[in-house]
Structure 1
Amino acid sequence: MSRTLPTSSAKRAGFTRQRLRGLRRGFTLIELLLVIGIIAILAAVVIVAINPTKQLADARNAQRRSDVNTILNAIYQYAIDNNGNLPTGIPTGSANIREICKTDPGKKCISAASVAGLAWGRTNLDILTGSYLTALPNDPRYPGTSASVHAQSGSYYFIYQSTGGRVTVTSSGAELGASISVTR
């Protein structure tokens, strides 16, 4: 049972069954807009579910945890190589916490006296670079590219030694309410 086209109008216009099928292959504008709308809604839901701001903050916090452990590992490796003596300049007591600073070529480890308004000082741990660290790490959010005082030589990592001899390194830049501090 095959259907035939009406002969009069179809033949006059030059339409055949194959040609009519070929004209029906595309999508209508409404169909295209509907699909694009659905894709846009799904993309918005996925972006909200992924929450890239939180993911980036979590990644920076993971880097901070790694940096804190790297600094402590370098300090204790130094102590092993130097008869148990820690690098000089690590303050004793949490009230004397100091920022770990570095000296890059042409930059100085800024002392507390030269940084107006800061109650804490700085400890230069450049002695660890070379043998124990390739470079002192910087907080991932502040890579040292701005002209601020911290960017010139500070790392945003702080250090102190307890009266019992345990060293604590902490990150001041932790995000999302995290507290990043390691004591050994």
Structure 2
Amino acid sequence: MNKKQHTGFTLVEVLLVIAIIAILASIVIIAINPAKQLAQARNTQRWSNVNTILNAIHQYAIDNKGAMPVGVATTTKEICANGAITSTCSGASLADLRVLTDNEIYFTAIPGDPTCPTGCNASGLGYTVKKSANGRIVVAAPGAELGETISVTR
């Protein structure tokens, strides 16, 4: 009598391998912590943006014999959004830096916080600017995540 031998995997073996792969994938996802990684990436973008904004303000001052953009005040104000109407930007709570986008010399558009528009004032970019008592310019990102303080002074 001829008996055929079947070679292959049983259902139990296949299920066991799938379970092991699922456990390993869960461990890897927990170790990577994607939410933290995304927050760190947004904070890195914020660092880049505040430096870029501060550099543009200083370049404007150099090109204009030391005069700062009119929107830079001694009180902390959120930077007005690109394309916002003049009456909105000239309010007490927003800094109008649209002069930096005129003729696209310093910016084509002022960079905004990575969480905007949902995490920002409807007319703001999520970054603040002020001129300190000693005349230094401070650009900050109050929406920084993971307890990080993002502020550049020059």
- TM-score by length of structure 1 reads 0.76
1:125 aligns with 2:97: yes
Deviation at 1:44, TM superposition (A): 0.2
Structure 1 pair 167/149, CA: closer, same or farther in 2 (3 Å)? closer
Deviation at 1:111, TM superposition (A): 1.7
1:165 aligns with 2:147: no
Bigger Rg, which one: 1
Query: Contact 1:103 / 1:109 at 8 angstroms: preserved in 2?
Result: no
SS at 1:99's partner residue? Answer: strand
Q: Aligned AA for 2:14? A: L
Q: Which residue does the alignment assign to 2:12?
A: 30
SS at 1:156's partner residue? Answer: strand
Q: Which residue does the alignment assign to 1:150?
A: 121
* CA distance in structure 1 between the partners assigned to 2:66 and 2:89 by the alignment: 25
Deviation per CA, 1:129-173: give whole Å up to 9, x if none.
Answer: 11101211111012x3x5x9813x201111111122110001110
Relative to structure 2, which stretch is displaced further, 41-50 or 78-87?
A: 78-87
CA RMSD of aligned residues (A): 1.9
1:59 aligns with 2:29: no
Deviation at 1:177, TM superposition (A): 0.3
Picking from 10, 25, 28, the partner of 1:46 is 28
Q: Aligned AA for 1:62? A: T
1:111 aligns with 2:83: no
Identity of aligned residues (%): 54
Structure 1: runs of 5 or more not aligned: 1-8, 113-120
Deviation per CA, 1:78-119: give whole Å up to 9, x if none.
Answer: 111111111112112xxx21111134166842623xxxxxxx
Q: Aligned AA for 2:128? A: F
* CA distance in structure 2 between the partners assigned to 1:89 and 1:42 by the alignment: 54
Q: Aligned AA for 1:75? A: I
Query: Contact 2:56 / 2:106 at 8 angstroms: preserved in 1?
Result: yes
Q: Which residue does the alignment assign to 1:135?
A: 109
- TM-score by length of structure 2 reads 0.90
